Amino acid sequence: MEPKEMKMDLAGRELKIASGPISTYASGFAVISLGETVIMANATISEKGKEGASWFPMFVDYEEKMYAAGKIKGSRFIKREGRPSENSVLISRLIDRPMRPLFPKGTTNEVQIICTALSADLEVDPGATAINAASIALMLSGAPFEGPVGAIRMGYFNDEIVVNPTYEQCAEGKLNLVVAGTPDAITMVEAAANEVSEEIVLQALEVAHKYIKEICQLQLDYVKQFEIKPIELTVVGADEDLVAKIAGMVTQEELDGISGTTKMEVKAKIHAIEEKLFENFKAELEADEVSEGQIADILNSLMEKNMRKNILEKEIRLDGRKTNEIRPITCIPDVLPRTHGSVIFQRGETASLSITTLGGPGDAQIVDTMEADVTKRYFHHYAFPPYATGDIKPLRGPGRREIGHGDLAERALIPVLPDEKDFSYTMWVASEIIRCNGSSSMASVCGSTLSLMAAGVPIKRPVSGIAMGLVMDKESSDYKILSDIQGMEDFAGDMDFKVTGTEEGITALQMDIKVKGLSLDLLREALAQAKEGRQFILDKMLEVIPEPRKEMSKFAPLIMNLVIDPDMIRIVIGKGGETIQKITKECEVEMDIADEGIVTITAPDQERGQKAIEWVKKLTYLPVVGDTFDGKVVKVMDFGAFVEFCPGKEGLVHISELANERVNKVEDVVKEGDPIKVKLMKLDDQGRYNLSHKATLGGGSSAPKEDKKDGEKKSDDAEVAKQGSKGERVEGTTSVRKV
């Protein structure tokens, strides 16, 4: 089949879809390019439904190939790709979230989407392009996918909204926003922001949807060129007769009675009704005509429908709160004795134990990505252990959800971190979710803020976060926006909209919805209600820790800075790193040296840090003629002794300058290793130091002898030049390094 292609102008860059020359055996495939970034998407769908599947088995992977950017993997030992990088996982989630709700509910066919970056222009992030590629592949597969989905990245740079911002514009601007949607509405939002207003976000969303419509139309026009064979999906629905039977056994009073301020209260009432139903279906259960799981699922569905109805019609939530009411908040600082900063932030039943650890600049994380090597001085790790929900599961390291929530909380705090020149520590926050009933990612944001403040990190402003929900009647389009959603409101609701920010503006966004899309007016209302909720939460946080502490924990490392002449860096490092390694080992410190001459010393205490500082000062000290030093003889020659009078600096004490009286043999006065007091008499044109011991004794002249023969003087000078200065022979590098 002849390859087909279609293209459009997307804010100055060419967006092109092609079916060749690359082709695969996937159910649907396409290659899409934006500029010189090329993404191949393959969507493969199983012919039959997965037996016993209780969830939609869709798997999405984004492959970040180093060759796409002309790079070889950074590891010296492993060059082949291993497990996906965190960036790949985040883009995989970005692709998954707008696609999953557009499949029929109850689908059990396995769907696999693999998006591979084949080429990267290193100008525009490929995440949005990968979403577009996945949508086209699904459209071509023949699956009953309610697409297309279009996606675009938006920025705010130099006070202007930018479409398809470059990496530089995202980094230097105030907004990095990915928006996905259908021709009718917005379905997914992901953003990092530098305290921007709600109005700027809404303007960016409005512009984004204009381009999303154009991208969707391009996909529709492209798909028309193909004869696509429809795929029949296996969609499992509830047994309507069984549903009717169970509905007749559960009274409205029992359904309305399923409420409570805690998860356990609600579960206990559900289990009580379940036990009644199991007893009523005892014969059918024994005959294997029905299972306990089926009964429980139907009851849960009835409960969710009733919960939604009560919210829409009566504004009554499961725990009795008003639609804009926040659960009770508790903040407990300093819960751990040896950590640098620790706080428990609890909202309702959801609690995050957030711990801050401080380190030196050398502890910064280096992330090897397709685009570039990124150094992170702040990183956040979110952990969701099974005991947080009372479950039992094997521990297998952080999953995709944990990586995603950690990234969201990290983005939320980055805009308020102190500048590196003012606070050179590396900052690590770990949020352990110890109890959960919804909105745990936002609890980790609030906990992180308090933990950093407790550790004495001078953040610019505190950040709070809130998860907003939605219940919408699909027929009448009536809706209620919910503040601070709990677990069941998340599962049974239509939206999970996370908003973080300071009093100045928004710092991060993440929105997923289960309906086909949301209007800008609804999003405007949700952002306004979220702003009120964020401020309420922030006020509660500041009651406990009103500002960053002035003093850090005594267990936190001490960081001391010293500025030296960049030309002296090689002297501090030494040949092959010999000098800097000696300093760090003997002083028990870490040292980092920047190209501009900033020496950063990370020490466990003041004494060891000061020892290292003094060592560096001596190494970089520029001797002044007339200064006196306590030195050590390092080499004895016939004409005098070489003395190390400062670390790394040697000079010659001529035999005539060793004593007030005439000296016939150098060894009569000093031997190698002897301490000796010397005075700097001269620094010649070649940078050699002329020293005198006699000048420190008093009673004699230290001037050069006039009756010395020219031949002897020249011979001695030649020998000095041959020996040279230790400081001049040292070779090194000025790059930043950790020892």
Please tell me whether residues 52 and 82 are part of one structural domain.
yes
Q: Give the pLDDT confidence score for residue 721 in this predicted structure.
A: 40
Query: 333 and 263 in one domain?
Result: no
Report CA Rg, the chain: 35
Is the pLDDT score of 211 beyond 60?
Answer: yes
Per-residue pLDDT tens over the stretch 393-436: 999 889 999 999 999 999 999 999 999 888 999 999 999 999 99
Same domain, 357 and 382: yes
Whether the pLDDT of residue 597 is over 80: the answer is yes
Let me know whether 366 and 448 are in one domain: yes
16-38 pLDDT, tens digit each? 999 888 889 999 999 999 999 99
Is pLDDT of 536 > 60?
A: yes
Task: Indicate the helix (H) or strand (E) that contains 255.
Answer: helix 252-256
- Examine the domain organization and report whether 335 and 302 are in the same domain: no
Residue 59 lies in a domain: yes
89 and 29 belong to one structural domain:
yes
**Mean pLDDT of the region 222-233:** 92
CA distance 453 to 134: 42
Look at residues 516, 544, 572 and tell me which one is the last residue of a structural domain.
544
Q: What are the φ and ψ backbone dihedral angles of 705, each rounded to 5 degrees?
A: -70, 125
Give mean pLDDT, residues 340-369: 94
- Which one-letter amino acid corresponds to residue 28? G
pLDDT surpasses 60 at 729 = no
Instruction: Let me know whether 127 and 252 are in one domain.
Output: no
Q: How far apart are CA 397 and CA 399, in angstroms?
A: 6
> What percent of the chain clears pLDDT 90, i.e. is strictly above it?
76
pLDDT of amino acid 1: 54
CA 663 to chain centre: 69
Block residue for tokens 């005539």: 656
Task: Please name every residue paired with 109 in a beta bridge, in sequence order, or none if there are none.
Answer: 49
Q: Retrieve residue 193's tokens.
A: 């922001």
What pLDDT is stored for residue 4 in this prediction? 86
Matching residue, tokens 């990370």: 602
**Shared domain check, 290 and 205:** no
**More confident call, 397 vs 209:** 209
Mean pLDDT, rounded, of the chain: 90
Length of the chain: 739
Mean pLDDT value across residues 287-315? 93
Q: State CA 731 to chain mean position distance.
A: 37
Which SS3 state, helix, strand or coil, does residue 476 take? coil
Together in a domain, 340 and 483: yes
pLDDT of residue 355: 98
Domain membership of residue 108 (yes or no) is: yes
Domain at 688, CATH number = 2.40.50.140
State whether residue 561 is helix, strand or coil. Answer: strand
Residue 482 shares a structural domain with residue 337? yes
- Whether 597 is in a domain gets the answer no
Q: Give CA 463 to chain center in angstroms.
A: 16
Whether residue 414 lies inside any domain: the answer is yes
The pLDDT of 311-335, averaged and rounded, is 96
pLDDT at 142 over 90: yes
CATH number of the domain residue 464 falls in: 3.30.230.70
Tokens matching residue 180? 């996905």
Half-sphere exposure of residue 535: CA atoms within 13 angstroms, side-chain side: 10
Indicate if 389 and 475 belong to the same structural domain. Answer: yes
Q: Please give the tally of structural domains in the chain.
A: 4
Q: How confident is the model at residue 544 (pLDDT cuts 50, 70, 90)?
A: very high
Final residue belonging to a domain, choices 510, 544, 578: 544
401 falls within a domain = yes
Instruction: Report if residue 440 sits inside a domain.
Output: yes
What pLDDT band is residue 517 in, cutting at 50, 70 and 90?
confident
Residues with Cβ within 8 Å of residue 585, at least 6 apart in sequence: none
In angstroms, the first-to-last Cα distance of the chain is: 60
673 by Cβ neighbours in 10 Å (0-12 / 13-18 / 19+) ranks as: exposed
d(CA 141, CA 33) in angstroms, rounded, equals 19
pLDDT score of 12 more than 60: yes
Q: Which of 544, 568, 601 is the last residue of a domain?
A: 544
> What is the rounded distance in angstroms from the CA atom of residue 572 to the CA atom of residue 566?
10
Mean pLDDT of 177-205: 96
Task: Say if 63 falls within a structural domain.
Answer: yes
Q: Is the pLDDT of residue 709 over 60?
A: no
**pLDDT at residue 684 tops 90:** no
User: 336 and 309 share a domain?
Assistant: no
**CATH value at residue 270:** 1.10.10
Of 556, 551, 552, 558, nearest to 606 by C-alpha is: 558
Assess if residue 722 is contained within a domain.
no
Taking the C-alpha atoms of residue 536 and residue 528, their distance in angstroms, rounded to an integer, is 13
Report the percentage of the chain scoring pLDDT > 70. Answer: 94
List pLDDT tens digits, range 46-100.
988 888 787 899 999 999 999 998 988 877 778 887 788 999 999 999 999 999 9
Domain extent, residue 431, equals: 329-544
Q: Quick one: pLDDT at residue 703?
A: 45
